[in-house]
C-alpha cells in the first residue's frame, strides 16, 4: 500500500523561506488556515475525508510526529472525480516532468503531472489568496507523499 504524507511549512516573519520545517505546533494561524483550506477542498472536490481526517488528527496531536498517512489510491480517486465532474481541462502540455494537466475550480487552480509510472502522479493546488499551495507527490521509495506547503501573507 502506498502512502501519503502530510507536511506543513509557512513563510515566517523573516526573509527566509523555510520549506522543510514543520511548524504545525507553533503557528495557530496556520492551523486555522489548514482547516479552512481542507474544508474548502472538501466542499469543492468532495471525498477527501481520509486526507482531511488525517490532517485534523495531525493538527490535534501536533506535538507528536506530524506525518499522517492516506493512500495514493485516494488521490487518484480525487483526480477521477475531478474529471468526472464539471471541471474542465483548460490546458495540457508536456514539461520536463511529464504530461501537465491544468484546470481551475472556484478560487483554486490545479496542475497534475502524469508521469510514466503507474503511481507517478503529482497534483498541485494553488490559491493565490490567501497564498496557499498544496502538492501531492510520490516519494523516492515509490510511496506517495502529499506535501502541504502553505505560504502565509505577511501581516
Partner 1 sequence: MQRDPQSLRYSQLFLVPEREPNGPLLPSDLNFHLLRQVHPDHLTNDDWIDPLVFKPNSSDFGLASKQIRENPVANRLGLKPGQAFVLYTEPPPDGHGNTSIGVVAISTAAAHLAEVPPHADALGDDPFHACLDWRGLDGSSKAKKRDRSLARATLLDSAEDIGRWQHGPVVP
Interaction site with partner 1 (CB under 8 A): 11, 15, 17, 19, 93, 95-98, 100, 102, 109, 111, 113, 122, 124, 126, 128-129, 131, 133, 135, 137, 140, 149, 151, 153-154
Q: Kindly report the three-state secondary structure assignment for every residue of the chain.
A: CCCEEEECCEECCCCCEECCCCCCCCCHHHHHHHHHHHHHHHHHHCCCHHHHHHHHHHHHCCCCCCCCEECHHHHHHHHHHHHHCCCCEEEEEEECCEEEEEEEECCEEEEEEECCCCCCEEEEEEECCCCEEEEEEECCCCCEEEEEEECCCCC
Closer CB to partner 1, residue 4 or residue 137? 137
Closer CB to partner 1, residue 47 or residue 130? 130
Min. distance of Cβ 45 from partner 1 in angstroms? 17
Min. distance of Cβ 149 from partner 1 in angstroms? 8
Closer CB to partner 1, residue 50 or residue 120? 120
Amino acid at each position: 500500500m502506498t502512502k501519503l504524507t502530510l507536511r506543513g511549512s509557512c513563510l515566517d516573519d523573516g526573509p527566509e523561506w523555510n520549506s522543510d520545517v514543520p511548524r504545525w505546533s507553533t503557528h495557530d494561524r496556520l492551523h486555522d488556515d489548514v482547516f479552512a483550506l481542507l474544508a474548502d477542498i472538501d466542499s469543492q472536490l468532495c471525498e477527501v475525508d481520509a486526507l482531511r481526517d488525517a490532517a485534523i488528527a495531525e493538527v490535534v496531536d501536533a506535538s507528536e510526529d506530524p506525518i499522517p498517512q492516506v493512500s495514493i489510491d485516494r488521490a487518484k480517486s480525487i483526480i477521477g472525480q475531478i474529471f468526472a465532474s464539471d471541471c474542465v481541462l483548460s490546458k495540457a502540455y508536456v514539461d520536463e516532468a511529464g504530461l501537465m494537466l491544468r484546470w481551475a475550480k472556484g478560487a483554486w487552480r490545479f496542475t497534475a503531472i502524469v508521469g510514466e509510472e503507474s503511481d507517478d502522479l503529482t497534483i498541485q493546488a494553488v490559491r493565490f489568496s490567501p497564498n496557499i499551495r498544496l502538492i501531492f507527490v510520490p516519494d523516492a521509495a515509490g510511496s506517495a507523499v502529499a506535501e502541504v506547503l502553505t505560504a502565509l501573507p505577511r501581516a
